[in-house]
Structure 1
């Protein structure tokens, strides 16, 4: 087993005992540590590798300026910017393999920025007094971050908080030893199996991956299918931004609709943009375009009240879009597709976009689908090849059309 280096981030002026204990446990298990102090007012009680002054400088500021702001929140945001920049640079330079951060609300706020700055696949652990709390918005959470409640740890070491810290130390070290970076795995020459990124839902709703996965494997490609329920889309976009995919089949862009309709089940403002910006060849389609997923136990947003609601389970509910909302969805998709710099095809199955909207199905709405298709035609940007298909998204003809296009791109050398 290799001995990775773990970056430990925290306020060493007030939490040196706890941070030192983390380092002690990691070291006892054979790991190395790199320490970063993100304090503002006080000085660390133990030596650190990266001082608060280095952190502030990485944010283009100084500790004196942070203090002079007279605002604790503003000062910590400066430190968050610097800590995120340093963490990203340290990882790019191969100086650290994973990060663990410790804090209450202030430290957690900073830790979320640090974790978001690191690529998917880098182990990220936050030990926090507000882990799993509604204080933390989904938009701030890195797709692969792990959180552990810092139980009984608000002030000083004790047997309860030591249990949390020791578990977290073992978890981050074990993850760093075992991890295989998705981006590096996808591009490692000796593996010779480039990676295709796909979005979907369970196969009772969308089924194209059942046919496409073995067909792509036979052609020498791996397929990663992301569950488009917010965090899945975040992971997909993170990898797309890294250039981890040789092509994408983004057939379930529903998270775009969730976002513009105000649902908490969002993958963020940049959903459906990163593959295009990186020049990755991409196919996009209409999987569940007509539904807005909502947190099942949240109140329905005002703009969606009175619309047909389907409770999928206790965690997730779906609202059917009106015709006007479907047109809005089409315009939002077109605006994002216009950003693409590489090959871009929109596959438009004219008979429906999920198993429930087939003719005679519980969500069948031919007029709504026609309204969406009409808006797509009217606003489709010139860089997008809009292909209308005389089938449903779950028909074999859809998977065949996607595979035929994929083969054509391979023949042209657009996909290697």
Structure 2
């Protein structure tokens, strides 16, 4: 029997990409591959998942923690995955592991890999949160990205983050139904830089910039900044864009002990073992609104829409969420509404509400149709 590689990720959000990895491994005829789901929810299609999340969680023989919060859910899944991989390794059922995903998946997989598998066992982590300078890696992959963009469908760029994923998923599905190909960029610094560059090079017909959180890191000093030119390419190129305020309620830092001392006393949220989020203040939010106004001044007003969620900018900036701060959000919204030249829409929902996602997708479609006339 050929050796088996375990492909591990969150199938509720990354199923298509994980299946691509699995099938690519199988196509070599050198290795077999199994897919292990460590997502938060069961995906709609289970037929290609070899070990579903429910079976992974059965491995958690220790006390199962309350999973009502994201960090607690990740801790429980880490324990379960560690025990599953240890068992698969002891029975020689796997010969290597590949984890692929965002910061949450990276946190779970890397700890499980360290604790369950010995030094020398083949381990690979494909992550939007790779440590160190990530830009060379993105640019090295540039030719591959360019090949992916050669589609019979017009291609749209969309920015996403773990805490805006529900919005991006619904919007992506709607855009695909409308006949577009959608390429997602994680707003982790390198992702924003890559998106801006590819927009400048003319690879997209439009941009759905839902998640502009990298602006907050650039302003405040977080670790996921995309530099001072973020949110400028679409405006300069004059292509249709719909912009929102996804995850501008937060600044990203590493583990808690790495946070600069000047931020002591601020409100923090433990996202996972690698990421600590800091709530943006009222003053910072007001400044972010002014920055966005300045960046969008040169954008064609007939090709630009800003759509604002009035009930929170992320999955934790919602009713009873740890980052819900209507005053701080209001400062950002007021700065935008008072300064923008392009049309602004307001929806009385959280950014992850399906109605918001459908509206931003439809708005971009309308702009694209108008631009063809």
Q: 2:294 aligns with which of 335, 349, 355?
A: 335
- Residue of structure 1 equivalent to 2:212: 253
Measured after TM superposition, the shift of residue 331 of structure 1 is: 0.9
- Residue of structure 2 equivalent to 1:15: none
Q: 1:390 aligns with which of 332, 344, 348?
A: 348
- What is the correspondence of 1:309-388 to structure 2 with a 5 Å cutoff? 309-341=268-300, 343-380=303-340, 382=341, 384-388=342-346
Whole-Å separation in 2 of the counterparts to 1:143 and 1:198: 20
Structure 1 regions of 5+ residues with no counterpart?
1-135, 147-174
1:164-201 deviation line (CA, Å, top 9, x unaligned)? xxxxxxxxxxx8xxx85534653x4xx42111100111
Is the alpha carbon distance of 1:328 and 1:222 closer, same or farther for their aligned partners in structure 2, counting shifts above 3 Å?
same
Is the alpha carbon distance of 1:268 and 1:137 closer, same or farther for their aligned partners in structure 2, counting shifts above 3 Å?
farther
Is the alpha carbon distance of 1:354 and 1:234 closer, same or farther for their aligned partners in structure 2, counting shifts above 3 Å?
same
1:400 and 2:358 correspond: yes
1:263, 1:301 within 8 Å by CA — same for their partners in 2? no
Measured after TM superposition, the shift of residue 305 of structure 1 is: 3.0
- Residue of structure 1 equivalent to 2:237: 278
Q: Which has more radius of gyration?
A: 1
TM-score by length of 1: 0.54
Whole-Å separation in 1 of the counterparts to 2:257 and 2:198: 30
Whole-Å separation in 2 of the counterparts to 1:314 and 1:145: 28
- What is the correspondence of 1:130-149 to structure 2 with a 5 Å cutoff? 138=133, 141-142=135-136, 144-145=138-139
Is the alpha carbon distance of 1:389 and 1:411 closer, same or farther for their aligned partners in structure 2, counting shifts above 3 Å?
same
Aligned residues: 242
1:226 and 2:223 correspond: no
Measured after TM superposition, the shift of residue 223 of structure 1 is: 0.7
Measured after TM superposition, the shift of residue 400 of structure 1 is: 2.1
Measured after TM superposition, the shift of residue 258 of structure 1 is: 0.3
Measured after TM superposition, the shift of residue 348 of structure 1 is: 0.7
- Residue of structure 1 equivalent to 2:155: 195
Is the alpha carbon distance of 1:243 and 1:227 closer, same or farther for their aligned partners in structure 2, counting shifts above 3 Å?
same
1:184, 1:244 within 8 Å by CA — same for their partners in 2? no
Whole-Å separation in 1 of the counterparts to 2:344 and 2:362: 15
2:139, 2:194 within 8 Å by CA — same for their partners in 1? no
1:243, 1:275 within 8 Å by CA — same for their partners in 2? no
- Residue of structure 2 equivalent to 1:129: none
Whole-Å separation in 2 of the counterparts to 1:413 and 1:326: 32
